[in-house]
Amino acid sequence: MLPEGEPVAGVTSLADEIYVLRRKERDQVEVYDVINYRLLRCLTAPDLTEFSDTTSCKVYHCLYISDDINDCIHRLDVQGAVTRWALNDSPCGLSVNAAYNLLVTCPDVRKIKKFSSHGDLLRELILPDDVIMPCHAIQLANGQFIVCHGDGNDAVHRVCKISKDGRDIVYSHGGQPGSNTAQYNVPCRLQVDNNGFVFVADSNNRRVTLLSPTLGYVRQVVSPDKLKWEPGTLYLDTQRRRLYVADNEFKDDKYTTGRIVVFSV
């Protein structure tokens, strides 16, 4: 485990370092050694007031942070230089595709926005009408998308594989919110391994589920007894086969404390 502290909004890695995004005013990004999890340094993104996710790009050596108060993306390089660009919509989950473009999931408008590393808008994809409140999207090598959606009182909470044009749902897993193996209660973040298996953070059920490439249920990777609070975000280190799970306490209508729990998968 990485230390308890402020709530964790995101976790990712570059080279042999782990980057943890915490909800605080300064030193929001904590950088740890990937071997022994020793804290190496902290990075500050100025004017970052509220944020929901982070991801990294190994080609451009930078982090991206979604800011859902200012409706923008902050780009933070490993030397600490910061730039940002406007989205005109509230962002949630982030990912980088095989072409090293940034994908931003915008729940309120049911869109995935694709940007170059320097903020040029390359594409806007409108998701099917029944994909309500999408939280996170990952683009596969074949151009299709894995999307999780459903929050609060939404009627459907599930994971979908969506065609590359965004029009059709190819496979899905989930439906009415619940706690059995075919159900979710706020599926909030995703990771996909090199073989197409999907890891799903199921927040209110306090677990991480593994799905096959066709979104069939495989097993529970992280059970509730392995977490102290609720899983908020994920990062899969495919080289080391480690799954990093942000475990956050939600109390009195706000996140109060967080930590990273590391699992071998």
Alpha-carbon gap, residue 100 to 143, rounded angstroms? 13
**What's residue 132's pLDDT?**
94
**What's residue 97's pLDDT?**
97
Q: Biggest alpha carbon distance in the chain? A: 46
**What's residue 50's pLDDT?**
79
**What's residue 45's pLDDT?**
83
- The model carries a pTM of 0.94
Contacts of 131 (CB under 8 A, 6+ apart): 110, 147, 149, 160, 162, 169
What domains are defined for the chain?
129-226 (2.40.10)
**What's residue 227's pLDDT?**
95
**What's residue 7's pLDDT?**
92
Give me the percent of the chain exceeding a pLDDT of 90.
Answer: 83
**Ranges of the chain with pLDDT below 50:** none
pLDDT, tens digit, for every residue of 99-122?
A: 999 999 999 999 999 999 999 999
What is the number of other CB atoms lying within 10 angstroms of the CB of residue 91? 24
Scored b (16 or more CB within 10 A) or e, 103-129 reads: bbbbbeebbbbbbebebeeeeebebbe
Alpha-carbon gap, residue 201 to 233, rounded angstroms? 7
Q: How far is CA 100 from the centre of its chain?
A: 16
